[in-house]
């Protein structure tokens, strides 16, 4: 089974992100693999272990070399890692486009059987790249999957819908986005990291990008601080909230 996993990196601590004159300053940020992408990669590795002859390729689109990210993917067990370099990616559409192009170049006419992504990138929380990538590759898309059972022909998946647990059935090829709960990603040690350095890590250049559908137009810092009024007793609080009109639902 041929599996491509799309991975990206996010700030370890969001508080290290600064805003200077309306632009983002990420110079103090320490980067980690997006947690949802760890679920995606772990699931790919489990499938590879179950289906002999499978290959897992980790893919990252990044403006500059995020080699640590790719090494981490290789250390976890990916067979090959590819970083697609391009100028700053403006939106999810451009990101998906770069990934789709790379998948086309790597796999040719025979698309991978599965493309696994994270549900969303924790920093920007677009939750858009996987679905857009599916559209571009002409594959169906199963989002926010929390359980996956695969055999050679078909897949059965679960996810949390708005109404309860949904069960899905699908055939290959398919794009899946991984939700928390899908698995517990493996840890990597020194030995795996050493081995990773021997595996193929390629950096390729993306061709000219299409126009973005959405453009970043500035940012401002946010303070979550409120002036907290400390209340002495629970009954004082109940009185305040009652007068604030919060108990209407209770009276209906």
Ligand X SMILES: Nc1ncnc2c1ncn2[C@@H]1O[C@H](COP(=O)(O)O)[C@@H](O)[C@H]1O
Site string for other proteins, 140-159 (x = CB under 8 A): xxxxx-x-------------
How far apart are CB 156 and ligand X at their closest, in Å?
22
Structure tokens at 224: 């979550």
Measured between alpha carbons, how far is 92 from 97 in angstroms, rounded to an integer? Answer: 8
Site for ligand X in 108-167 (CB under 6 A): 117-118, 120-121, 124-130
Report the partner that residue 38 touches, choosing among other proteins, ligand FAD, ligand X, none (CB closer than 5 to 8 A by kind). Answer: none
Site for ligand X in 13-52 (CB under 6 A): 34, 36-37, 40
How far apart are CB 29 and other proteins at their closest, in Å?
10
Structure tokens at 61: 């689109």
Of the candidates 35, 135, 140, 212, which one interacts with ligand FAD according to CB under 6 A?
35
37, 22 contact by CB (below 8 A) = no
Measured between alpha carbons, how far is 114 from 204 in angstroms, rounded to an integer? Answer: 22
Chain residue at closest Cβ approach to ligand X? 118
72, 35 contact by CB (below 8 A) = no
Q: CA–CA distance from 37 to each of 121, 177, 183, 229, 235 (Å)?
A: 8, 9, 11, 41, 47
How far apart are CB 140 and ligand X at their closest, in Å?
17
Site for other proteins in 206-245 (CB under 8 A): 211-222, 224-235, 237-242, 244
Chain-centre distance for alpha carbon 167: 22
How far apart are CB 121 and ligand FAD at their closest, in Å?
11
Nearer to other proteins, 61 or 170 (CB): 170
Which single residue is written with the structure tokens 């179950």? 50
């Amino acid at each position: 089974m041929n599996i491509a996993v799309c991975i990206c990196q996010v700030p370890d601590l969001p508080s290290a992100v600064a805003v200077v004159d309306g632009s983002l300053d990420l110079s103090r940020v320490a980067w980690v693999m997006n947690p949802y992408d760890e679920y995606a990669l772990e699931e790919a590795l489990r499938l590879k272990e179950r289906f002999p002859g499978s290959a897992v390729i980790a893919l990252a689109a990044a403006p500059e070399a995020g080699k640590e990210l790719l090494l981490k993917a290789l250390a976890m067990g990916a067979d090959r890692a590819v970083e697609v370099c391009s100028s700053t990616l403006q939106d999810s559409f451009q990101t998906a486009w770069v990934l789709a192009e790379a998948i086309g170049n790597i796999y040719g006419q025979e698309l991978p059987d599965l493309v696994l992504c994270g549900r969303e990138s924790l920093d920007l929380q677009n939750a858009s790249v996987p679905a857009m990538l599916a559209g571009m590759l002409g594959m169906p898309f199963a989002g926010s999957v929390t359980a996956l059972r695969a055999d050679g022909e078909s897949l059965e998946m679960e996810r949390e819908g708005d109404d309860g647990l949904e069960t899905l059935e699908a055939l290959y090829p398919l794009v899946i986005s991984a939700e928390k709960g899908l698995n517990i990603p493996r840890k990597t040690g020194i030995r795996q990291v050493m081995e990773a350095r021997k595996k193929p890590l390629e950096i390729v250049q993306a061709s000219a990008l299409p126009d973005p559908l959405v453009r970043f137009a500035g940012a401002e810092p946010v303070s979550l601080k409120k002036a907290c009024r400390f209340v002495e007793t629970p009954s004082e609080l109940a009185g305040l909230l009652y007068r604030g009109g919060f108990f209407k639902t209770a009276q209906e």
